[in-house]
Structure 1
């Protein structure tokens, strides 16, 4: 069951990524299409999801394994829903606020139980990711339409 859930989630992610890659505008004559790498990676993910699903269909398990997989399946689906909400919330609230909210939730799901560590992750995760992506790599941060903590901090 768990492998089925992983394969299905990966298939959905890869299909959305393929659709997103097709949204990249066509290249000018003589240039390389900017969507070639995301498209190739998305197709590769779709192939991997197919392998997961084929492997899941050939697995035979006992009842104890099925119960353990059932709990893991729920966690996979919950994490996928959190990822979708997180990604969509960038549009409304920018980058910092959703990251500050989601980081401790996901860390808790992965076994971090220190309340101090979870509280620190509210500040550290957005700060570290901001430094890596928007300062060092020079990617433009997504600004929120409803409220953006970054523009509020910058004044």
Structure 2
């Protein structure tokens, strides 16, 4: 926070322009080791034994959650209560970002109370795949947004 404050109050825009957030670096360089580390710690036998349940919660659950959050955000911005104007694709990208849940607290409680390993594996596996699905959805929205901007410049 202190480094961010120093960068924020520093004169000129050279430092601020040099440390801009780049989503492609984050998604392609920083995030994969985190997800792979989590997958390495997972008990593989339990994961593959429960792959049907995990995939059922991860793929449709995450997709439905992202769509619902995106639609609610889009409708809210169209109501005019705030001075925010967001496209539907941007609202879906935000929905995908917010749908990436991380159940660290639940898993630590499960660990301390020694719950059924099957339940622990399903929750942990779903959170791993959930992150990957949200990344794909966000990247898809980003690519579609770029194509939409190209189409509007041609028209």
Q: TM-score, normalised by structure 1?
A: 0.29
Q: From the two aligned structures, give the one with the greater helix fraction.
A: 2
Select the structure with the greater relative contact order (CA < 8 A; seq sep ≥ 6): 2
